[in-house]
Amino acid sequence: MKNKIIVIMLLIGLTAWQCTKIDRKPDLKQSLMSGVDNINTAISKISTSKGYELLSVSAAGNETGVDVSSGTDTKSVEGFDLTDSITLDMVAGVYDFQPDFTRFWHHYFPVSLFKKTGESDHLIVNMPHRMMFRPRYLFNFGINDTIPPNNFTIDASAWHLFREGWYSLDYNLVASFSYEDADIGVCDINSLMDPVEGKSFTSEFVFPEGFGITVEQNAVDSARSSSFALMDGNDILLKESSVISKTGFRMFERQYILTIGEVEIKRTTGIDSIQVFVDGVLQQKAAVKIIDDDDDGDKSGDHNNSICYSRDLLITFDDGTTANLSDLISPALGTLKTLVSSLGDMYFARRIVDYIALSIQVSSH
């Protein structure tokens, strides 16, 4: 009798749980607010980190660094006949910032600044942190300058630069960075250019706290796609993606998707309304209006790589209340735009890490 009572109770509990599961409908407002809170929390942590400072590095003062990974013809730099293929094994080792002004100095590459101090199958560079965060100190270092301590480390586990002609590039960099022996992040950059296959670019930076940001760009013939994602481990906090194509002389957006946690907002050609999904369930009452400064349909600019660059989203919830997305994520929006731009540019990689690697390559000859 006791066993029968237990079985009946279990059946009643299971039935009640299933009914609750069936009756439970995803709530757009609650899901969106939860997603927005997660974004603002993540960005508040990222924006105060050394990793964010590294991503924000840009040209400061006069510089002579050569941008070798975005189209510069390295074979014609002031008479240096650099090889078409430069791989990690050509520059692998441990190098310390130890200027030697008795050696030859070249306008583009400071071949006397880094001394090999150890062996490694990685490219490990120990240098003063100000030369990474304020690159003018690296590019314009002089014989009378004070030599700061080497408290910043670049550890590149993968790096190559393959060039065959002006419109052909295969570039990869995987590197970790540390300041005062504390990890500040890992980057993974891949860039391909081919006259037939088109262009592709992926750039990722992962912070020690587990947050990650990624930019992807692809261009083939008359079609382009781009996306930006903010991750917490494997969970998507925010993702914005678009697909545009060329018709005649103008570029038109064919698809736009914005994901915030469990909420997905989707605009696609061929569908009259903007669709809103919560946890994969299409919302019948919710409405979204895209307020776009470029409503004329011309999407030819690079701003498609930016988070809501020229647009805002007016969201109407089931209860009739409304909210602008820009207001909801206003604490994070400025930082997000900076991150999109920084990931697409990756200045610290293309103009500093590559600069040092090529300096070592030139110095070895």
pLDDT digit string (tens) for the chain, length 365 residues: 555 555 455 555 555 555 444 445 678 999 999 999 999 999 999 999 999 999 988 765 445 555 554 444 444 444 444 556 889 999 999 999 988 776 655 555 555 788 999 999 999 999 999 999 988 888 877 777 788 899 999 999 999 988 776 678 899 999 999 999 999 999 999 999 888 888 999 999 999 999 999 999 998 888 889 999 999 999 999 999 989 887 777 778 889 999 999 999 998 887 777 899 999 999 988 888 888 765 444 444 444 455 766 778 899 998 889 999 889 988 888 888 888 888 888 888 878 898 888 888 877 76
pTM for the structure as a whole: 0.83
Residue range 166-225, pLDDT digits in tens: 678 899 999 999 999 999 999 999 999 888 888 999 999 999 999 999 999 998 888 889
pLDDT at 286: 86
Range of the structural domain that residue 96 is part of: 40-363
How far is CA 72 from each of CA 24, 75, 76, 77, 108, rounded to the nearest angstrom? 57, 9, 9, 9, 13
Domain presence at residue 194: yes
pLDDT at 75: 43
* Number of neighbours of residue 365 by Cβ within 10 angstroms: 9
Q: Do residues 1 and 284 lie in contact, with contact meaning Cβ atoms separated by under 8 Å?
A: no
Q: Give dist(CA 187, CA 207) in Å, integer.
A: 9
User: For the chain, what is the domain count?
Assistant: 1
Domain presence at residue 329: yes
Percent of the chain surpassing pLDDT 90: 41
Domain presence at residue 16: no
What phi and psi, each to the nearest 5 degrees, are found at residue 298? Answer: -80, 110
Q: Give dist(CA 309, CA 293) in Å, integer.
A: 9
Domain presence at residue 17: no
Domain presence at residue 183: yes
Residue range 96-126, pLDDT digits in tens: 998 877 665 555 555 578 899 999 999 999 9
Length of the chain equals 365
Q: Percentages helix, strand, coil for the chain, rounded to the nearest 5?
A: 30, 35, 35
Domain presence at residue 15: no
Q: Do residues 175 and 186 lie in contact, with contact meaning Cβ atoms separated by under 8 Å?
A: yes
Domain presence at residue 261: yes
Residue 199 token pair: 């262009």
Q: Give dist(CA 288, CA 284) in Å, integer.
A: 11
Q: Give dist(CA 221, CA 199) in Å, integer.
A: 10
Domain presence at residue 3: no
